[in-house]
Amino acid sequence: MREFPDDEACLQWLWKTRHAVDEEGKKAFCPKCELDRPFHRVSGRPAWDCDYCGYHLHPTANTIFHKSSTSLQLWFYAMFLVSQTRCGISAKQLERELGVTYKTAWRMLNKIRNQLMDEDEDEPLSGEVEVDETAFGGRPRASLGRMTRQEAVKWAKENKTTVVGMVERGGRVKATLAATREDRPVRSIVHQHVLPESIVYTDEWAGYRKLGDHYAAHHRIRHAEKIYVEGDVYTNTIEGFFGNFKRGIAGTYHAVSRKWLQGYLNEFTWRYNRRHDERAMFFSLIEMAAR
């Protein structure tokens, strides 16, 4: 509220971040003139005009704010709330905070989560990397009765989603959905996101058996034998991320379908990767919106 007290302050910030070539925000590159030209603010419209040819520049064009009837200040406030909550914020809570309809709050949250927080194209992980997979979903209903082991495995394959997580020790995390909980889909995800010169740490699941052929070293911790730390060999970091993610989903959102699960993973991943500087989270988010 101090730095963005109204829509005009938000619009001026977008203009200076996206288009201005000087600190005062008076000059910008004109695509029509193909030169840096003075621009002036258009009265009554969220736009700037070139002083020489009259070319229009709209700071909100091609952003999540484009053609939105919701005020810019509410958009900025929504991004602030999303960036500052440890376990996420529901669309219903955002509706109450902003004073908008649920449909508007859901749309805003969905755009922030899926368009601004997707870090899939960032550099691959390297160094010491922990890898683990987990099944995300609910439990069988009591009405299904007591299941045999084979029935439980079949139910899990049909109803649960496999999530593969990779984390640099002391660094970034990546998490993505796998098509199935089989060795090839999981390994292909690891190969895509972890550089070959890395040292990889996993549990003893059979699907990780061939990872050592692709990486500098591969160490496995034997969870089946109740061993969770053996010197430098452990997967506690990635398991901690999964624990925070599952608690956040259960406490804030209660349930998430496979269709939207990657977006929620993006949100928790994005927040984890900026955990050391809470102020930077908000500015990182609005700068991503400007880009």
Cα within 13 Å of Cα(286), Cβ side: 24
pLDDT on residue 90: 92
Q: Taking a C-beta distance cutoff of 8 angstroms, is the pair 256, 93 a contact? A: no
Q: CA 131 to CA 99: how far, in whole Å?
A: 42
Residue 142: its pLDDT value, please? 61
What's the rounded Cα separation, in Å, for the pair 140 and 153? 11
The model's pTM: 0.84
CA 141, distance to chain mean position in Å, is 31
User: Residue 242 has what pLDDT?
Assistant: 93
pLDDT value for 235: 94
The helix, strand and coil proportions of the chain, stated in percent and rounded to the nearest 5, come to: 45, 20, 35
Q: Which of 125, 129, 116, 141 is nearest to 284 (CA)?
A: 116
Nearest alpha-carbon partner for 192 in 213, 162, 172, 166 = 166
Give me the pLDDT at residue 224, please. Answer: 87
- Spatial distance between the Cα atoms of 252 and 20, rounded to a whole number of angstroms: 40
Tokens standing for residue 113 = 């989560």
Provide the pLDDT for residue 76. Answer: 96
| Rounded Cα distance, 20 and 8, in Å | 16
- The residue written with tokens 């938000």 in the block is 10
pLDDT score at 132: 94
Any idea which architecture 128-257 has in CATH?
2-Layer Sandwich (3.30)
pLDDT < 50 stretches in the chain:
none
Cα–Cα distance measured from residue 18 to residue 218, given in angstroms and rounded to the nearest whole number: 45
pLDDT value at residue 144 = 64
Domain boundaries, the chain: 128-257
pLDDT at 141: 67
pLDDT at 73: 96
* pLDDT (tens digit per residue) in 139-181: 766 656 677 777 776 766 777 889 999 999 989 999 999 988 8
